[in-house]
Amino acid sequence: MNNMTRAAITVLSAGAIEPGLVKVIDAFRRETGREIKVAFATAPTIVKRIGGGETVDVIIAPPTALDELVKAGKTALVERVSVGRIGVGVAVRQSAPAPRIATVDEFKQSLLNAESVVYNQASTGIYIERLFDRLGLAEQLKAKTTRYPDFAAVLSHVIKGKGNEIALGATAVIIEAANRGLKFVGPLPAEIQNYTNYAATVAADGAAKETAREFVRYLATPAAKVAFAEAGIE
């Protein structure tokens, strides 16, 4: 078995960047011959899993989550590479009419008109929950709001619906789900838009540190940046 084959690495990544990361990993495999095993989870789950003793080679998550892991000694502050940022978008079932969301007032009215509002428990969902409080909508939307552990469940809820369901989530994931029955209505109005940044770092307890560093650095290459941009990751 040669070195190329032995140097396989494991990656635990935030699910929002999956559409772009999958393409980047494929390119890295082709160029280097190295094997990568990747799993996706929400940021809180990543912190919980790594904090609970799970061992991986590379962690990709919002900087705040990585900072928590630095404090816990699970990753170092060095070898951190910015992957990109993702905004929040609005989606409906492919066959449903698009709600009006061009202004904050239109967005609020569309939410109030919806039969159900769904979003996840990841970084995007945390922002949306606070946004509803800020807009004075939390109480009015409470009875018809459902939060799921991940966007896959949000997608399932909307495409199986028959009424006026509105989904909120990371724009990159919504765009990627367009061929599975979801329609991307557009990003949140600029005044209330929020971007979640994502960065990659080498885990402290990983076994394949050299290959892990190589992969993390690859995420900052022009080719990787193009792949991320095509997936809606700025």
Q: pLDDT tens digits, residue range 76-95? A: 766 789 999 999 999 999 99
The answer to whether the 3-85+197-230 and 88-192 domains have the same CATH topology is yes
Of the segments 73-77, 98-102, 201-205, which one has the largest average pLDDT value?
98-102
What average pLDDT does range 152-177 have in this prediction? 91
- Going from N- to C-terminal start, the domains of the chain cover 3-85+197-230, 88-192
Architecture of the structural domain at 88-192: 3-Layer(aba) Sandwich (3.40)
Architecture of the structural domain at 3-85+197-230: 3-Layer(aba) Sandwich (3.40)
pLDDT at 27: 95
Residues 10, 59 contacting (CB under 8 angstroms): no
Whether pLDDT at 180 is above 60: yes
Distance, in Å, from the CA atom of 34 to the CA atom of 10, rounded to the nearest integer, reads 11
User: Pick from 155, 234, 173, 171: which is nearest to 198 by CA?
Assistant: 234
Whether pLDDT at 234 is above 90: no
pTM, two decimal places? 0.76
Record the tokens describing residue 204, joined without a space: 């402290």
Angle value at C-alpha 233, between 186 and 26, nearest 5 degrees: 130
pLDDT at 2: 42
Whether pLDDT at 4 is above 80: no
Record the tokens describing residue 177, joined without a space: 């789900």
What average pLDDT does range 139-144 have in this prediction? 96
| Residue percentage of the chain with pLDDT more than 90 | 70
Q: What is the DSSP letter of 94?
A: T
Whether pLDDT at 9 is above 80: yes
